[in-house]
Amino acid sequence: MQPGTHALIVIDVQNDFCPGGKLAVTDGDRIVPRINALMKDFQVKVLTQDWHPADHASFASQHPGAAPFGVTTMPYGEQVLWPDHCVIGTPGAAFHDDLHTDGADMIIRKGFRSQIDSYSAFFENDHATPTGLDGYLRSRGVEQLMLVGLATDFCVQYSALDAARLGYDVTVLEDACRAIDLDGSLEAARGAMVEAGVVLEG
């Protein structure tokens, strides 16, 4: 690894994104052993948790007549409508049972305001409201980030793009991620990340 403080950022490895969950990502649970093994290689380890109130505006259930995976317009732009998922305090919002959460220095929750979604671990979907993660990483002297988790084309991608914009060196370890892949969203995400200077590693 290059010099500087390295952080592992583990995005949304929660039951609802794993097989059997409300917004299951194919093979989402398969990345857990790899992530557990990686933790020992990093000085700083952060886990994120998607954490929505039951009436969250990203849920199709809050939009009469709308179906999951459709798109609506919010004041901050386009928003995909999701099945209800990661509702605060429910088993679906908990981390996957096998994830070594004891190794984490910091757990950051996002998406807890009902009127705005937050894919990125750094900013909500208005690209302006901070989650506090940037301040945490800066105050710990972190310069390099490795991102892993769920889902490659949504929360991992948005986090990687924000991190690159904030000046971190960013690598996404694709073997330790899985995608939702809505209408080519995985290829689009890979292109956008490369364009932003994010390193995609096998």
Question: What are the residue numbers of the active site?
Answer: 12, 110, 155
Report the distance separating Cα 83 and Cα 69, nearest Å. Answer: 8
Give phi and psi for 140, each to the nearest 5. -95, 5
Is 155 one of the binding residues for ligand VGL (CB under 6 A)? yes
Q: How far is the CB of 172 from ligand VGL (least distance, A)?
A: 13
- Block residue for tokens 């991102």: 147
Is 150 one of the binding residues for ligand VGL (CB under 6 A)? yes
CA distances from 11 to 5, 37, 67, 95 (A): 19, 16, 26, 10
Count CB atoms within 10 A of the CB of residue 190.
Answer: 18
- Of 6, 9, 10, 12, the residue at the interface with ligand VGL (CB under 6 A) is 12
- Block residue for tokens 């605060």: 88
Q: How far is the CB of 8 from Zn ion (least distance, A)?
A: 21
Report the distance separating Cα 81 and Cα 78, nearest Å. Answer: 10
- Of 42, 123, 154, 168, the residue at the interface with ligand VGL (CB under 6 A) is 154
Report the distance separating Cα 22 and Cα 168, nearest Å. Answer: 33
Residue 155's binding partner among Zn ion, ligand VGL, none (Cβ under 5 to 8 angstroms by kind) is ligand VGL
Of residues 69-98, those binding ligand VGL (CB under 6 A): 82
The full length of the chain comes to 202
Residue 141 or 191 having the CB closest to ligand VGL? 191
Residue 17 or 122 having the CB closest to ligand VGL? 17
Of residues 25-54, those binding Zn ion (CB under 5 A): 50
Point out which span in 29-37, 133-141, 148-156, 184-192 binds ligand VGL (CB under 6 A): 148-156
Residues that bind Zn ion (CB under 5 A): 50
